[in-house]
Each structure stands twice: as structure tokens, then as C-alpha cells.
Amino acid sequence: MKSWVAGLVGLGILLLFIGEIYGVHADTTKESKTASDLDHIGIFLAGLGLALGGIVDTEEDKFVRFGLILAAAIFMGLLWNVGSYI
């Protein structure tokens, strides 16, 4: 697996984590919106890293690539739906 895939997914998860922590301590609606934006950017980056890793990395087995794409779809689908209702 290429190192940029792990870096992109890691950065996305880090932004998601920071957004959640910031959202817990948010006092105003502007801070809550900023926390939500960080969450959405983190979800996008992590899902993008997984999806591109599954599409671009031809050295991996086809089942590993399918798993990366499936994980990206589940990750973005579930977390974006939950995040939009909070």
C-alpha cells in the first residue's frame, strides 16, 4: 500500500477526531458549524484515501482493493448520514 493512502486516511481521521472534540466543547452555533465542517472534511479525506487506494494501487490483491472501496463507501455513507442529523 502506498504511503500517501495511509497519510490521507490518517489525516482524515485526525480531522474527524478534532472536529468531534471541538464540537463537544462548542458554545455557539458558529463553533458548532466549524466542528461540523471539520467532521465533514475529515470524512471526505478518509473516504477519498480509501477509495483512491482501492482504485490506483494495482499491486494489491483484487479482494484488498475491493475491500478498500467498500470501506470507503460504508465510511462515507454511514458517517455523512449520521453527521447530517446531529
Counted domains in the chain: 1
Cα 50 from Cα 84, distance rounded (Å): 21
Which domain, by its residues, includes 67? 3-85
Quick check: 81 pLDDT over 90? no
DSSP 57: -
- For the chain, give the longest Cα–Cα distance: 48
Quick check: 14 pLDDT over 90? yes
What pLDDT, in 10s, does the model give residues 57-66?
888 899 999 9
User: pTM of this prediction?
Assistant: 0.81
